């Protein structure tokens, strides 16, 4: 069972950021349940085999103000994928710092090593105002100053700053089947 976590302050925004991820799981016949981060319980974390933390809209940074709601990540020992806001949360939990840089649209990213089925040059969809620096526990899988795909060095914790639900569904599929 996969837990999909919404970081959206506005319920309506879940149609753009949560629903497409749910659709990928439905199409792959994967059982899941979705919850807003403010409603997550210890029982939800135990029930989940994997977790996907979805992104949110450009002007929605409430999740940063409430990053302590995600302290459970530091002790979570199951596979976890953070998308955009989710990657920022993961980085902050592991003492990364938030930096500002708006990127909107399709970008070419070069994956230096295979990352959840992506390798080499890939077109990805960016929609963010922030990114984060990485702590020493993480490695980046893309070239450039802004890490676009990261993985914890010893745990199955992944993050992408771009939105794979838009252009790179195979990444989500690889995560859920991995």
Write out pLDDT tens, residues 92-128.
999 999 899 999 999 999 999 999 999 999 999 999 9
Phi and psi at residue 110, to the nearest 5°: -100, 115
Write out pLDDT tens, residues 34-71.
999 999 999 999 999 999 999 998 888 899 889 999 99
Q: Which residues pair with 162 in a beta bridge?
A: none
Give residues with Cβ within 8 angstroms of 170, minimum separation 6.
117, 118, 164
Q: For residue 178, count other CB atoms closer than 10 A to its CB.
A: 12
Domains of the chain by start residue, with CATH: 2-177 (3.40.50.880)
> Per-residue pLDDT for 178 more than 80?
no
Radius of gyration (C-alpha) of the chain in whole angstroms: 15
Residue 27 appears among annotated catalytic residues: no
Of the chain, the percentage scoring pLDDT greater than 70 comes to 100
Catalytic: which of 14, 22, 109, 165?
165
Chain position carrying tokens 């295979």: 114
Catalytic: which of 8, 14, 22, 84?
84
């Amino acid at each position: 069972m996969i837990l999909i976590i919404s970081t959206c302050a506005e319920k309506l925004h879940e149609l753009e950021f949560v629903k497409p991820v749910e659709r990928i799981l439905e199409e792959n016949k994967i059982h899941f349940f979705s919850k807003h981060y403010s409603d997550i319980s210890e029982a939800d974390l135990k029930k989940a085999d994997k977790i996907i933390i979805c992104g949110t809209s450009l002007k929605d940074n409430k999740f940063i103000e409430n990053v302590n709601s995600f302290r459970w990540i530091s002790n979570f020992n199951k596979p976890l994928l953070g998308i955009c806001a989710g990657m920022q949360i993961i980085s902050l939990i592991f003492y990364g710092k938030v930096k500002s840089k708006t990127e909107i649209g399709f970008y070419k990213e070069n994956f230096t090593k295979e990352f959840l089925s992506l390798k080499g040059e890939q077109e990805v969809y960016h929609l963010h105002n922030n990114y984060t620096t990485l702590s020493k526990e993480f490695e980046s899988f893309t070239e450039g100053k802004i890490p676009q795909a990261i993985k914890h060095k010893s745990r199955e914790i992944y993050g992408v700053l771009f939105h794979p639900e838009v252009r790179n569904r195979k990444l989500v599929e690889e995560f859920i089947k991995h």
